[in-house]
Structure 1
Amino acid sequence: MILHCDEKDESLLIKFKHGVTDPSGVLSSWSSHEKDCCRWRGVHCDNITRRVTELRLPCDTIQSVEILDKDDEKPHCLSGELDMSSLFDLEFLSYLDLSNNDFKTIRTCSNNNYSSNIHYLDLAYNYNLVNDHNNMLHQISHLCSSLQYLDLSGIDLYKEIDWLQSLTSLSSLLELHLDDCILQSNNPSLQYANFTSLKVLSLSNNDFSSVLPPWLFNLSHISYIDLSDNYLHGQLPQSKPKFLSLETLHLYTNDLDGPIPDWLGQLDQLKVLDLACNNFVGPISTTLRNLSSLLIELHLRSNLFTGTISEKNFPVLSKLKILSLGSESLIFDFDANWIPSFQLQILSLESLGPEFPPWIYTQSSLKVLYIGNSRGSFEPLGKFWKITTQIETMVLVNNSINSDISNVLLDSKVVIMRMNNFSGSVPQVSPKVVYLDLSFNNLSDISHFLCQKMKGKGNLETLFISDNELSGEIPNCLMNWTSLLQVNLRNNNLTGKIPHSIGSLSRLIFLSLEENKLSGENQFMGQISQDIDKLAALESLDLSSNLFSGQIPQSMSGMSFLEVLNLSCNNFEGKIPSGTQLQGFTNLSYVGNPKLCGPPLTKICPQDKKLPNGEQRTEADGGDDDDNSEVHSWFFMGLGIGFATSFWGVFGAIFFNRRFRHAYFRFLNQFHDIVIHKVLIRVNIAWGSYQFDLQQEAPGDAYM
């Protein structure tokens, strides 16, 4: 006899399905075609009782708040109202994961005597989720008193003033994740919180603007604490806390100050210590010398440390894989013959000086290297460039290297070398390179780079060489770089015409050539090529305020990804090609072209005008007379609008519409502290630490 799922469970799941919006058919298997609800997508049942025990329906998108911005759309995710009452009625349901969807409101059961058996609840990154009574945490803690895992990261809990008190009733809680929830109070006066079983506490990227609360240091069973990216200030307590089994402590990017307490060196289970980007002062030698031999990650960069750091500070750190050091007043003084007992995967150094630490050349496992604001010499440079061939992500920012790099071969997947006084020609790259940023240097020639004969197919997607001394013409060699998505050569001395081979860049979505000396320049002339539709992924096109002429190619009507278009103030003529794409823009995209006609302009094309008897009106009939005033009035308005639209069209829509442009915008504006530390370091932590299986228990394992 084949057992099917319980009928009551099936009806409750159907009730839940009917209350949500499912644009991509995630719940399409929840139907009469599949009678056994235990075989529905995301549903797991007990093998014996056939009662529903787990529901796993996370939306398949990136869940990192560092990459996925709150404004990103989730058109394929579950949406609408989240009716928790129907799910709580699943009496054997213990595991519920609806993370990263796009639910708008949540409705919970109003029965005060009701209690759910859910042990694992994950609603994280439903950014628009709100509770109609603004007491979501109180309801959850009351109805799910047996919770062991709770993740509400990314949900706006700004009005949950008593969030801590609401959650302290969860005495069985093992993991609590409330990252990026706009929480403001951590109750700094509270001495004890009833988290008697809590092992993982993650409260990063909130708005705490107080000292570290005493209750935090009285959590005796805690093994993981993350309070990074807040506004915490004051000093760490000098007295020894109760969390002697602590394995991970993240306090980076706060305003903490004072000396590092000695007890940090007495946590013999500590594997990850991150105090970067604070205002800690004083020497660090004693603390480093006493750190646990189990330590895997150590981040102390961007503080106010003083004194000297040498090989004597690393006597027992043989398991270290990730290291971040450096302060303006900290002196690096390593013995030239010292060979560390550790092999790093990620190394971040700031304010090196007076010399480049020779022990770095012994690190054969290094994959990520960041060096910034260096005061020291990189000599011999040949030895330095040799070690970079093993590195996958190399970042050199604001260093005084003063070197000709014409003969260097770059071989890292990601190369960011900004503000280093590099000179000579743009260096060659291997097929491995995907991201190349050489902005704000003194490079003078790009021809050798663009026309190089690469061994194998190139994979370069991003090329940024803005704000250099590039001169001469752009060679007609762009057909060698068909993988390019973004190109920025602004603010150089490039001359001549834009080469025809630019039409080979069919994947291009961003191109910046302004502030050069290109012939015809924001005043170009000629016609738009009929092959422009080959730029299939183009999202923004601004050709305003130039001397372009001829007809708008019919092929443009098929450019379905085009979201911003500005052809105003040119000499285009004829009818705007028909099609929903070009007619979807406003008349502001076309004004200032006196000979242009057709929707969305109000000017009717001659071939479309008809006399009362049904005959077509010709130009001789005076069809243009009534449009002269429109041309004059819109022309001067278009001059201003064209400039504004060209600026915001490119730098607004391109960057804000897609996920990776959000990351790029943050890269330009907060490159040093956020991207380098959070993206290159934090993202690679998972890759570095967990790939080598160095931690015995990571966040998420406590519940399991």
Structure 2
Amino acid sequence: MVMSLFFFYSFLCFVLLISLCFSSSFDHHLCSPTETSALLQFKQSLQVKSDYSLCDTSFPKTKSWNESKDCCTWDGVTCDVLTGHVIGLDLSCSQLVGNFHPNSSLFQLHHLQTLNLAYNDFYPSSIPHNIGRLTNLRHLNLSYSTFDGKVPTEISYLSNLVSLDLSYGFALQLNERTFEAMLHNFTNLELLSLFLVNISSPIPVNISSSSLRYVDLYDTNLQGALTENFFLLPNLEMLYLSYNDLLNGVFPKIHPSSTLLELSIAYTGISGEIPDSIGTLSSLKYLNLQQCQFSGSIPDSVGNLTEIRELILSHNHFTGHIPSTISKLKQLTCLDLLSNSFSGEIPEIFSNLQELRHLDLSKNSFIGPFPSSILSLTHLEYLGLSSNSLSGPLPSNAGMLPNLTELDFSYNSLNGTIPSWVFSLPLLSSVSLQHNRFRGLTDEVIKTNPTLKDLHLSHNQLSGSFPQSLVNLTNLVTLGISSNNITVDEGINITFPSLSSLFLSSCELKDFPHFLRNMKTLTVLDISNNKIRGQIPDWFSGMRWDSLRFLNLSYNSLTGYLPQLHFHNLGYLDLKFNSLHGPLPSSICNMSKLSLLDLSHNNFSGSITHCLDSMVELSVLDLRRNNFIGSLPPFCAHSTLLSTILVNGNRFEGTVPMSLLNCFRLEIFDVGNNAINDTFPAWLGMLQELQVLILKLNKFHGRLSSRKKFYFPKLRIFDLSCNKFSGSLPARLFENFSAMIKLDDGDKGEIKYMEQLSEYSMYEDSVSLVIKGHDIELEKINTIMTTIDLSSNHFEGVIPKTVKDLGSLRLLNLSRNNLKGPIPQGLQFNTFANDSYGGNLDLCGLPLSKQCGTSGSSHVPQPSESYFFSGFTWESVVIGYSFGLVVGTVMWSVMFQYRKPIWFVEFFDGLMPHKRRRSKKRALRRQT
């Protein structure tokens, strides 16, 4: 009995002791009160912004932090199980926002080994200098944390770091001294990521960390020559130096290495040839040399890179042939040789490259037939062979490309019939065959292909009716058949229910295609430069294309009144070179989304005073060569986006509207050939972007103002000819023409062109000259075409000496005025022939034969010279809006029938390589 009681009480004591021990252990916190307090203070110094997230999944980890729990159990906190010290803090993606205090309590965690604050927002805080106090840190990650300012030198004190990630530090600057100290002190460093940190210094010579495996210096503004420092690191696996355009030098000789797996020096200034030693990188899986300055041939040793998966050599100056040793690279998934100078036939090396997914040989000088070995690449997804000189037909069968999604053979000389496989591969979504010599399509009707979305066949030699073989491609979104001899039969049944963009320009259309009635989703419609005659049919103008943004009907023979158009979201409307007449319909004036309106070269009439009220997004307005009357509309009264205004060749009267002062983006203003009756609008000089001002052939009168605030800072073409201006030429006016005094610093002698971009096309400004009755059109206004024409006015007095300071002036015409005195000498003035001064009998000095101080008559030009410049005048500044380059006419041969100043010929002769003749159709229309 006694023994039983003894055992019972003993057991009871044991249970009580155990319960006390457990109770004691639950109440005891492993984390020290000091570190708990430090963490809570850090939490209180920041905010949690629930709607802020840079991660796919974000969670406010500090939400679980409170004093009732051991800090070692808090989210993101790791403690040493023996000492209880906080050794790890991972607050990445925690939606933390606020100012990171320089003396943050975080720096009291002296035992911290890992600190990760990535993907939070501490802007505009700088990385605190006290970061150097955390000397036990082994892993520091501040990426995507929006720190600002300089990386403190104290960060180099963290000599135990194994990984340092400051990537996506868009606003961080790392000076050269700190950068060198880091690479010298971090002897244990394995990972260094400074992606997008602004270093702006050379790669340090002394790199002490032989442990480095991963180095990312992408887009850090590295400078100087690439050295072999990194390539000597024994454990380096990944090196990224891309997007450092000031990094130059040559590719260093590679020492044998079995560790380097990925190397990218794309978008740098590194030049020279690839050394044969590249073949020693036997473990390399990724090599990217895109957009550098490499030249020469690819060494055969590239065939030793048998583990490589991506080889990207695009946008360089490589020449020669593709080395046959590439056939050894059986792991290759991407081969990109785009935009080089490779030549010869494309070798049949692809049969062994069965893992290829991406093959791009575009923009080279390859010749010969389509390489048939490509057809064996069963995993190929993208195939680009565009912009070469490939010839001959395509193979008739390509059933071995089951995974191809995009095919681009454009800009070659391929011919024959386009085989059916081009449209029927099971995963194909885009086909580009434009600018070739294909004469026809397969006769067989192509089966429905639900994947094919984009089909480009423009600029070939297709002829006849619209290809019936395409009618089953019912999921097409884009269809381009421009510049073919295609007609459309009225009764053809075509339904493309998803079609968004249709290009049928420069074909043989005689009517509006009736199948357009079936298309409800059009965004872009181009049927320009066809043979469509007569009025715009009611069914077309009545279409409800709510999504239509681009409509081009130019260069046809449309007549009659322009009907009401119900395309309320139209942003681009081009009707130039037709025979439309009458007033503008109210629907045009109410198109609030228009950014470009070109009605030039028609017979429109009436007033447009209030037509611009609703066009709040208008950027380009071209009304040239019509019969509009009344006052000029109040430009920019409701919008400030106008950059080009062309109303040359109408019957506008009145004055230049002061509302133009609101057109702060205006670059071109041409009101020539009207009946404007006004004084010189000197106030236009306040428009900072104005480059072309043409007031010729109007009724402008009075003196030229030269008030200092009207200084025309970017003016390049200034034409006041054939008006009634009088008085002296103010010296201060020409003194203000900054753009004519010298070329822009960025020009460096290169010819650049004024151009603008729309949502759907590029259009370029151009200039026409009338010389002896012939229209000479230079397609584009270039930034060095600086011109002053003040001829046929009543100017008097001396030519200001400030005119000779216009060092970039190329054309000058002061003829037929009442000027007198010596002609300024020096600089560009010495290039102007006597024709520039004809009709001013009291001028003297070179190039005239009359010497100053004598009573002899001034030089009388020879008949051909006088006639040449009597017809000289700037016709207009015109603007082209078709896709690609604007097609213009340059009747250069006309000039060689007459005598002309040598400097004039030399100047325009330098521009001629950029010019092409206008099409016969367009030339005939201009003549009529």
TM-score scaled by structure 1? Answer: 0.66
In structure 2, relative to structure 1, the CA distance for the partners of 1:304 and 1:580 (3 Å cut) is: closer
- Does residue 1:51 correspond to 2:198, yes or no? no
Distance 1:110 1:389 in 2: 61
In structure 2, relative to structure 1, the CA distance for the partners of 1:479 and 1:189 (3 Å cut) is: closer
SS at match of 1:372: coil
Q: Which amino acid aligns with 1:255?
A: S
- Does residue 1:443 correspond to 2:603, yes or no? yes
In structure 2, relative to structure 1, the CA distance for the partners of 1:37 and 1:403 (3 Å cut) is: farther
1:552 alignment counterpart: 706
2:226 alignment counterpart: 83
Distance 1:104 1:187 in 2: 34
SS at match of 1:257: strand
Distance 1:258 1:107 in 2: 45
Shift of 1:225: 1.1
SS at match of 1:264: helix
Shift of 1:259: 0.9
SS at match of 1:216: helix
Shift of 1:542: 7.5
Distance 1:665 1:360 in 2: 21
Residues 80 and 103, structure 1, Cα contact 8 Å, conserved in 2: yes
In structure 2, relative to structure 1, the CA distance for the partners of 1:92 and 1:370 (3 Å cut) is: farther
Residues 108-257 of structure 1: pairs in structure 2 closer than 5 A? 108-114=251-257, 117=260, 119=262, 121=264, 123=266, 130-131=271-272, 134-135=295-296, 137-138=298-299, 147-155=308-316, 157=317, 159-165=318-324, 170-181=329-340, 183-185=341-343, 187-190=345-348, 192=350, 195-240=353-398, 242-257=400-415
Per-residue CA distance 1:286-337 (angstroms, 9 max, x = gap):
1x5236332122223333334544777433x343222223675544347677
- Does residue 1:669 correspond to 2:887, yes or no? yes
Residues 89 and 116, structure 1, Cα contact 8 Å, conserved in 2: no
SS at match of 2:380: coil
- Does residue 1:364 correspond to 2:523, yes or no? no
Distance 1:283 1:130 in 2: 45
Tell which has more relative contact order, 1 or 2 (C-alpha 8 A, sep 6+). 1
Gaps of 5+ in 1: 6-25, 59-75, 604-626, 645-649, 656-660, 672-704
Residues 176 and 200, structure 1, Cα contact 8 Å, conserved in 2: yes
1:690 alignment counterpart: none
SS at match of 1:160: strand
Distance 1:403 1:57 in 2: 63
Q: Which amino acid aligns with 2:476?
A: L
Residues 628-647 of structure 1: pairs in structure 2 closer than 5 A? 628-631=821-824, 637=832
Residues 30 and 40, structure 1, Cα contact 8 Å, conserved in 2: no
Per-residue CA distance 1:391-450 (angstroms, 9 max, x = gap):
12223343343342164466312223343443333442522111222334x2323632x4
Per-residue CA distance 1:110-142 (angstroms, 9 max, x = gap):
124246745474735x6x764367348549958
Q: Which has the larger radius of gyration?
A: 2
Residues 186 and 213, structure 1, Cα contact 8 Å, conserved in 2: no
Shift of 1:460: 0.2
1:278 alignment counterpart: 436
- Does residue 1:344 correspond to 2:484, yes or no? no
In structure 2, relative to structure 1, the CA distance for the partners of 1:312 and 1:151 (3 Å cut) is: closer
Distance 2:805 2:511 in 1: 69
2:449 alignment counterpart: 292
Per-residue CA distance 1:565-600 (angstroms, 9 max, x = gap):
769999323556988958954999899995576768
Distance 1:381 1:484 in 2: 32
SS at match of 1:256: strand
Distance 2:306 2:835 in 1: 61
- Does residue 1:459 correspond to 2:617, yes or no? yes
Residues 297 and 320, structure 2, Cα contact 8 Å, conserved in 1: no
Shift of 1:384: 3.7
Distance 2:739 2:460 in 1: 53
Residues 283-322 of structure 1: pairs in structure 2 closer than 5 A? 283-286=441-444, 288-290=445-447, 292-309=449-466, 313-315=470-472, 317-322=473-478
SS at match of 1:246: coil
Shift of 1:34: 6.3
Q: Which amino acid aligns with 2:391?
A: H
In structure 2, relative to structure 1, the CA distance for the partners of 1:39 and 1:268 (3 Å cut) is: same
Per-residue CA distance 1:623-656 (angstroms, 9 max, x = gap):
xxxx954449969937767999xxxxx99xx99x
In structure 2, relative to structure 1, the CA distance for the partners of 1:596 and 1:670 (3 Å cut) is: closer
Distance 1:566 1:238 in 2: 60
Distance 2:304 2:421 in 1: 39
Per-residue CA distance 1:21-56 (angstroms, 9 max, x = gap):
xxxxx9976673766851144699xxx996147956
Residues 485 and 508, structure 2, Cα contact 8 Å, conserved in 1: no
Residues 321 and 344, structure 2, Cα contact 8 Å, conserved in 1: no
SS at match of 1:572: coil
Residues 356 and 376, structure 1, Cα contact 8 Å, conserved in 2: yes
Distance 2:450 2:618 in 1: 41
1:532 alignment counterpart: 684
Shift of 1:277: 2.8
Distance 1:243 1:493 in 2: 59
In structure 2, relative to structure 1, the CA distance for the partners of 1:483 and 1:537 (3 Å cut) is: same
In structure 2, relative to structure 1, the CA distance for the partners of 1:663 and 1:554 (3 Å cut) is: same
Distance 2:567 2:259 in 1: 57
In structure 2, relative to structure 1, the CA distance for the partners of 1:269 and 1:349 (3 Å cut) is: same
CA RMSD of aligned residues (A): 5.3
Shift of 1:471: 4.1
1:430 alignment counterpart: 591
- Does residue 1:268 correspond to 2:486, yes or no? no
Distance 1:34 1:584 in 2: 51
Q: Which amino acid aligns with 2:594?
A: V
Residues 799 and 821, structure 2, Cα contact 8 Å, conserved in 1: no
Shift of 1:349: 2.7
Distance 1:33 1:513 in 2: 65
Q: Which amino acid aligns with 1:465?
A: L
SS at match of 1:217: helix
Q: Which amino acid aligns with 2:153?
A: S
Residues 88 and 116, structure 1, Cα contact 8 Å, conserved in 2: no
Shift of 1:256: 1.3
In structure 2, relative to structure 1, the CA distance for the partners of 1:479 and 1:165 (3 Å cut) is: same
- Does residue 1:39 correspond to 2:166, yes or no? yes
Shift of 1:213: 3.0
Shift of 1:248: 1.3
SS at match of 2:368: coil
Distance 2:563 2:540 in 1: 16
Q: Which amino acid aligns with 1:393?
A: F
TM-score scaled by structure 2? Answer: 0.52
Shift of 1:192: 3.9
Distance 1:29 1:40 in 2: 14
Distance 2:251 2:571 in 1: 48
Distance 1:261 1:215 in 2: 17
- Flag the structure with higher helix content: 1
